Amino acid sequence: MGIIFKQSLKNTLIIYLGFLIGGINTVVLYARFLKEEYYGLVTLVLSTSNLVMPLMALGIHFTIVKFFSSYDKKEQKDKFLSSVILFPLIIALIIGYFWNYFHELIMKFLSDDNVIVETYTTYIYIIAISCAYFEVFYSWAKVQMQSVFGNFLKELYNRIAVMILLCAVYFNIVSKQEFVIYLSYAYAFRTFVMCIYALRLYTPKFYFAIPDNFKEVIRYSFYIILAGSASAIILDIDKLMIGGKDTLSVAAYYTVAVFIGSFIEAPSRAMTQILDPLTSKSINEDNSKEVASLYRKSSINLLLIGGVFFVLVNTNVSELFKIMPEGYAGGELVVLFISSAKLFNMSLGNNRAIINNSKYYRITLFNGVGMALMLVYLNKYFYYDLNHGTEGLAFATFLSIVVFGLFKTWFVKHKLHMFPFTLKTVLQLFVIAGFYLLFNYWNFDIPEITISKFNISPVINIVLKSIIIVILYMFVVIKLNISDQINGLVKRFIK
């Protein structure tokens, strides 16, 4: 796990710095500089582009991770990369040719209150193709076991770009209407930089030829694109469904709550960048012991690290909403459901990578489509039929992730005889629950302190409470020896 911890640590720092900047953007700048309607517009444009992106990427970013390490000779690797790199461009050109149809489809889905989106559907296309090729070249770098720079571009660059553009809006350099336009250019530039970096890491000799296992590559890409499209629906369909019923302001409020709840998954995103190619390599080498070891270690370590952030987020969320404009408050249940879903997903470790890179990868299609259908049905039931609001959307997400996460866990146990959970998992869950119950109903009694009409008392409360939680939490998990890797890391620093 040495290379995993080294790159995961760097990736985690980058992701949390990205979350910090994203938090400033979300909590302070978006709400004050762009206002609810245009923030909702940005949310809808990005969410829709995320739904289109898997179709353009054609699953090639997953295909590169699975197959690159299976080739022994450079010639075969070069033929493989040469044959797959043009696929997203072909699909993008086809989608672009029929974009008027996609434009009409998007507008038909939205309510009459959100006609402002009509002017910006072209930028959905630009962002989608930019993100598709970014993921392709990011995977190109990851199979060289270099994930940090790509992670910087993915998690930090775009948030810095947003911050700069929001400040440009505030100083009237860029109008609110132009914000989405310049943001799409920023995504395109990010892809260009990632392309240059990936080609410098590994420059293939381009062939007008295909690898020997090309049929298997195409078959895998076909299943993964369908599964990837279903996964995109899971991530962003709720925001699109809000646009079909309520105003863009509601989408903005929900996006903020989801962002806060998703804060806990940064370690998972960081570790996945290096775990995916390592898992693929171990499976290609038929090293089942190493795969099982990665499975257990990633599960307990992600649960442990995600657990402390779960406690921090949910015990401080009420104070956090106090420093935001009034319309954003009241999303505590959304945060709880989303963060619980993320924590459960983290406890599965590298489950997804194991399935995607095994001979049973076809099950990802059933799992992805099944989860997407369940989520769409539950969203409609809770949000449209029962009118449970955005809490209903968050609960639907939670149920869908847990049900199909349990299915994936059973499947890996049944087919590959690997299981991520141990008695330490149960012990860690008790630690998380105990800290949540202990600190959720307690805050420092701090009098109101304002600086330039901004109440900083909730910020002081959050900082002081978080320091106490982190110190006590780490003391407990180290004493209980829940993670050998964490304890070993602490001993190295103590020495």
251 compared with 320, residue with greater pLDDT: 320
**Over 80: is that where the pLDDT of 138 sits?**
yes
pLDDT tens, 175-224? 888 898 999 999 999 999 999 999 998 888 887 777 777 788 888 877 77
pLDDT over threshold 80, residue 92: yes
Secondary-structure percent of the chain, ordered helix, strand, coil, rounded to 5: 85, 0, 15
User: What pLDDT was estimated at residue 182?
Assistant: 94
- Which range, 51-60, 436-445, 448-457, is most confident? 436-445
pLDDT tens figures, 42-62: 888 888 888 788 888 777 887
Label residue 121 by pLDDT band (50, 70, 90). Answer: confident
More confident residue, 336 or 108: 336
Two structure tokens written together for 141: 């770098």
| Total Cβ atoms within 10 A of residue 442 | 9
pLDDT at 87 over 70: yes
∠ CA 143-147-151, nearest 5°, is 135
Q: Of 414 and 251, which is predicted with more confidence?
A: 414
Query: DSSP assignment of 326-373, as one string?
Result: GGG---HHHHHHHHHHHHHHHHTTTHHHHHHHSTTTTHHHHHHHHHHH
User: Taking the CA of residue 128 as centre, how many other CA atoms within 13 Å lie in the half-sphere pointing to its CB?
Assistant: 31
Q: Which two tokens stand for residue 95?
A: 């989608």
- Cα 240 to its chain centre, rounded Å, is 17
Task: Tell me the three-class secondary structure of 149-170, residue by residue.
Answer: HHHHHHHHHHHHHHHHHHHHHH
pLDDT for res 415? 93
Tell me the DSSP string of 445-493: -----EETTEE-HHHHHHHHHHHHHHHHHHHHHHHTT--HHHHHHHHHH
Of residues 126 and 243, more confidence is placed in: 126
Nearest by Cα to 351 from 304, 401, 309: 401
pLDDT of 261 above 80:
yes
- For 127, the enclosing helix (H) or strand (E) is helix 121-142
The dihedral region occupied by 206, where left means phi > 0, alpha psi between -120 and 50, and beta the remainder, is beta
CB 223 within 8 A of CB 361: yes
pLDDT value, residue 328: 67
Question: Which pLDDT value is given to residue 115?
Answer: 60
d(CA 295, CA 244) in angstroms, rounded, equals 40
Give residue-wise pLDDT tens across range 315-350: 999 888 887 777 666 788 999 999 999 999 999 998
Query: For residue 1, what pLDDT is reported?
Result: 47
Q: Residue 455 pairs with which residues in a beta bridge?
A: 450
State the DSSP code for 206: P
Percentage with pLDDT > 90 across the chain? 32
CA–CA separation, 80 vs 92, rounded Å?
20
Give residue for tokens 């930089």.
Answer: 193
What is the model's pLDDT at position 229? 61
Report the pLDDT value the prediction gives residue 8, as an integer from 0 to 100: 63
User: Model confidence over 345-379: pLDDT tens digits?
Assistant: 999 998 988 988 888 888 887 888 888 889 889 98
Tokens of 454: 């901004």
- Structural Rg of the chain based on CA atoms: 23
Angstrom distance (rounded) from CA 217 to CA 221: 6
> Could you tell me if 266 and 259 are in contact, meaning their C-beta atoms sit under 8 angstroms apart?
no
pLDDT of residue 369: 82
Q: Which of 110-114, 159-163, 213-217 has the lowest mean pLDDT?
A: 110-114
Question: How is residue 422 written in tokens?
Answer: 């141990």
Average pLDDT taken over every residue of the chain: 83
What is the pLDDT averaged over residues 398-417? 93
Q: Find the mean pLDDT for residues 258-265.
A: 83
**Neighbouring C-beta atoms of residue 98, cutoff 10 Å:** 9
Q: pLDDT at position 338, please? A: 92
Looking at residue 419, its pLDDT comes to: 94
Measure the CA–CA gap between 169 and 174, rounded to whole angstroms: 5
Token representation of residue 339: 């963060």
Rounded Cα–Cα distance for residues 305 and 13 (Å): 13
Round to whole Å and give the CA distance between 399 and 274: 28
Question: What's the CA angle centered on 194, arms 193 and 196, to 5 degrees?
Answer: 65
Q: What is the mean pLDDT of residues 146-167?
A: 90
pLDDT for the residue 341 = 93
